[in-house]
A and B are shown apart, each in its own frame.
Chain A
Amino acid sequence: MDSDKQDISSSGSYPYRHNDAAESTPVLEMKNITKEFPGVKALSNVTFRVAEGEIHCLVGENGAGKSTLMKVLSGVYPYGSYTGSILFNGDEQKFSGIHDSEKAGIAVIYQELALVPEMTVYENIFLGHEIRKNGLVVDWNETIKQAGEMLQKVRLDVNPATKVKDLGVGKQQLVEIAKALSREVKLLILDEPTAALNEDDSENLFNLLRDLRSNGVTCVLISHKLKEVIGIADSVTVLRDGQTVCTLNARKGEVSENVLIKHMVGREIDNIYPRREHVRSGEIVMEVRNWNAYNPTIGRNILKDINFSLKKGEIVGFAGLMGSGRTELALSLFGNPDGFRIGGEMFVKGKQKRFTHPHQAINSGVAYVTEDRKGDGLILIQDVKENITLANLQKIANRGVVDKNAEVKVANEYKSSLNIKTPTVEQKVGNLSGGNQQKVSLGKWLFVQPDVLILDEPTRGIDVGAKYEIYTIMSRLVQQGMSIIMISSELPEVLGMSDRVYIVSGGQIAGEMPIEEATQEKIMQLATNY
């Protein structure tokens, strides 16, 4: 399958094409785009211009209209449901569906990947435009051969016959890009491609995008990670509240983190980590000794001899790479819903505990805010109030009957104290932006009134403004005496928020240090230990 190798990826340095957004002809021009939903103006008079062969980043807070704009562009919202015009390749386009935009050479790669897990890589790459012979049957040999070529283009070294479900997220993303390339894409749009990737995979992806740029593919990248944006963008467009704030030219040095944040938020945030006194001593509220876990489905030990402790009013950071076992550790402590075989001891407020279901953990004052709020955190089809009260319905129930008025009252309290931006608490959670969903998730677990709050990637995929709010809430909570375990892959967040840091690697604690001694370099070094 990997016989006729052709080296498309240029080794060594990348030939940058220095074409200027202002000077060269735009490949895409969206003019005066206005899109309204019942009661909301999602986009108003947005102008978005992308020059040929550049990497153009689109940034903005959650709810700023980035995704809506891309949905207008890709035809998810068909022509006629918005006002304004789209020029692509010099022609005015009136897409009535994704099919049309694909034909024109626009491909969108969403956060939630659109691959069929049970199918092989080559089947996925050509899904929907299979190579046929005699116009009828699929030509599998040709498919496999061409899939191999596409995989080389995206520098993915896997057998095309591998099933997609056996690949990691980073590799799946490359398969998606290969799929787009097989359709002769001219404009590639990536919606937060690195949200679920570790640093290596991200870097790999960006090198690929630079490659594609030199091969004439234009990229639009939506991202919340401003450091990435600064690293890769040729130009950056900032959206705020459904309007274009500005388009900056990165090559002229117009882009910096402070500038972007100022434009995105509309004000300057000098320090997004609220200052507070670090906790040095205090009673230990949670302690874990010689904790081991064995996962029977994959047949190996996933946690080995873990020891840690947590003091009252402390934020302890759990740093580490994705897949290092941090989430598994949290789950194994929180009632073990995945059925790991566990050894070791856990003490909560001095008493030895071993939870066999999350409800026992909740009753003992331990709460866990999941990493994947859409997947296993919230019930998207239910409304804000139902989500907030779910984990502690008994509290507002009288002999098993829910007091719905009390429920609304409770939900409104959290709506205002956490600043959840929603018209009413009867709004479905699925309709809220990521940052607000995260606040609902937080509200749900605060309603349990835990002593120990485990936050798994508390600010993943949410914007700077909402991040700042979450950090502020966290500081408030520990000042009130709650203890927080914060699992995070973002080192600045770990360094900015923790009192103490544990570094997890390969299912083990690779190190522990007070915050004063912690640096990004030290943590990364330990995180890659095992």
Chain B
Amino acid sequence: MAFFTDLRKVLQQNIREYGMWIALFLIMAYFTITTQGTFISSRNIVNLVNQSGYIAVLAVGMTLVIVIRHIDLSVGFLGGFLGAIAAIGMAQWKLPVYVVIPMTLLLGVVAGLLTAFLVAQLKIPSFVASLAGWLIFRGAILVVTESTGTIIIPDKAFNAIGNGFVPDLFPAESTFLPGIHKLTLILGMLAIVLLIFNEINSRKKKQAYNFEVLPMNLFILKLAFMSVLIGSVTWLLAGYQGLSWTAVVVLIVVLLYNFIASQTVLGRHIYAVGGNPEAAELSGISVKKIIYVVFGSMGMLSALSGILFASRLQSATTTAGSLWELDAIAAAYVGGVSAAGGVGKVVGSIIGALVMMSLTSGMNLMGIGISYQYMARGAVLAVAVIFDVATRSRGK
């Protein structure tokens, strides 16, 4: 059977890439069985995404930071601090939301560039530079929330980011598919059509260059698999209240960063700096510039993370930001990023974040105590990295 030998070859060659998806699938299947289907219910999946979107965006930024052989420990408290600034902006300074959000993101970029300055210009190890930031921002949160304690955010539009859903174009009580979010369905179908169109296009281009492509039957299988995946996620979301705004934000960030990392000159320069900074510099790439770009983007995503979190809680608290950085780093490593630099994909880190979130959510549903949850997550982190190291030596 040529089909099965082809399939096996493709799977073997890409085990690293597919391993993550398979792990996520197994974990989700396991929790679905142990919770009698509660885990995979629309409501739970939507909650899972909304509760952990702020870690997902951090993981995306952290991927690039680790790829260029650095680390940023300050992201958690920076996010918490900027969330508090956003809350103060709306609650005390009475600024409108469309001013507060760009302002917060900009402050994030500035904070990131500051770390980059220490790392690129003054050659301070990023671990130390960002640890300093970690302490400073932690103190800063306490300072700004000292007098008021928790700051309640009055702005409805802002709070909708963490709690609201994209409104449906059609009334929910219409006779056609009652209780289903039609806009989500339409968007999902659109995504599938776009995906198929894109894949066929890229296949044709490759054939025009006489490059090797997947055999037709495998290509169809791949398309079918991806379509079913998107389709079922869409169906799940549509069954509850549709796309949440948090999911939209995370999706945009992931798509944008994945595009930059894999398709653009900038992305290639980032991976080149991670792979061999000296060689990159001698190839005409400014390593300093790349450090500024990556840390600046990390700062912006920290701000976004803080916004998502504050919006979810509809308030800024004194404890916001604690341990976010470690969750983000763990997600990136589970997703296959290498500390040696130059290796790691944005999509991988998102899968890693989903794996870690699913664990938390699933174990919560099963009523497992927090102490054992930490241990289980630690074990999964270790196993993921062991798998990664073990498969790295072979794959190409």
Contact = CB atoms under 8 A, between A and B. Distances in A.
A125 to B, nearest CB: 29
B315 to A, nearest CB: 40
Interface in B187-238: 205-206, 208-209, 211
Contacts of A22: none
Interface residues on B, range: 20 to 34
Nearest to A375: B278
B268 interface: yes
A408 B282 CA distance: 23
A402 interface: yes
A390 B268 CA distance: 8
A379 B265 contact: no
Contact of B264 (A38, A379, A402, A444): A402
B272 interface: yes
Nearest to A394: B265
A390 B211 contact: no
A412 to B, nearest CB: 9
A379 B281 contact: no
A357 B282 contact: no
B183 interface: no
Interface in A319-349: 334-335, 337
Given A368-B282, A390-B268, A405 B209 contact: yes
A386 interface: yes
A414 B32 CA distance: 53
Contact of A390 (B208, B209, B272, B342): B272
Interface in A424-445: 426-428, 444
A352 B366 CA distance: 73
A376 interface: yes
Contacts of B264: 397, 400-402
B79 to A, nearest CB: 29
Nearest to B267: A402
B343 interface: yes
A393 B280 CA distance: 12
A404 B211 CA distance: 11
Interface stretch (B134-142, B152-160, B283-291, B346-354): B283-291
Interface in B237-293: 263-269, 271-272, 275-276, 278-286
Nearest to B209: A405
A401 B263 contact: yes
A394 B269 CA distance: 11
Given A359-B285, A381-B342, A386 B268 contact: yes
Interface in A364-422: 368, 370, 375-383, 386, 390-391, 393-394, 397, 400-402, 404-405, 408-409
A246 B286 CA distance: 50
Interface string B86-120: 00000000000000000000000000000000000
B268 A391 contact: no
B275 A402 contact: no
B100 to A, nearest CB: 30
A363, A390, A391: most-surrounded residue (chain B CB, <10 A): A390
A444 B264 CA distance: 19
A292 B396 CA distance: 46
Nearest to A405: B209
A379 B279 contact: yes
Contact of B283 (A402, A409, A428, A444): A444
B265 A397 contact: yes
A501 interface: no
Nearest to B343: A381
A370 B271 CA distance: 20
Contacts of A400: 264-266
Contacts of A390: 268, 272, 279-280, 283, 285
Contacts of B394: 38
A58 to B, nearest CB: 26
B265, B285, B342: most-surrounded residue (chain A CB, <10 A): B265
Nearest to B285: A359
B284 A391 contact: yes
A427 B206 contact: no
Given A382-B272, A405-B205, A426-B396, A393 B279 contact: no
A363, A368, A376, A380: most-surrounded residue (chain B CB, <10 A): A376
Contacts of B285: 359, 390
A370 to B, nearest CB: 6
Contacts of B278: 375-376
A18 to B, nearest CB: 46
B343 to A, nearest CB: 7
Interface string B368-396: 00000000000000000000000000101
A379 B342 contact: yes
B293 to A, nearest CB: 13
Contact of A379 (B206, B208, B272, B284): B272
Given A402-B264, A405-B211, A427 B396 contact: yes
Given A386-B268, A397-B265, A380 B276 contact: yes
B206, B266, B268, B271: most-surrounded residue (chain A CB, <10 A): B268
Given A358-B284, A426-B396, A378 B263 contact: no
A362 interface: yes
Nearest to A361: B284
Contacts of A428: 396
A390 B273 CA distance: 11
A154 B279 CA distance: 36
Contacts of A379: 272, 275-276, 279-280, 342
Nearest to B283: A391
A301 B209 CA distance: 53
A337 B268 contact: no
Interface in B285-317: 285-286
Contacts of A382: 271-272, 275, 342
18 contacts: A335-B284, A357-B286, A359-B285, A370-B279, A379-B272, A379-B279, A379-B280, A379-B342, A382-B272, A383-B396, A386-B268, A390-B280, A391-B283, A400-B264, A401-B263, A402-B264, A405-B208, A408-B211
Given A358-B282, A383-B396, 18 more contacts: A358-B281, A361-B284, A378-B279, A379-B342, A382-B275, A382-B342, A386-B268, A386-B272, A390-B280, A391-B283, A391-B284, A397-B265, A400-B264, A402-B265, A404-B263, A405-B211, A408-B211, A444-B283
Q: Considering the complex of A and B, which 6 residue pairs feature the smallest CB-CB distances, nearest first?
A: A359-B284, A376-B278, A379-B275, A391-B283, A362-B284, A379-B276
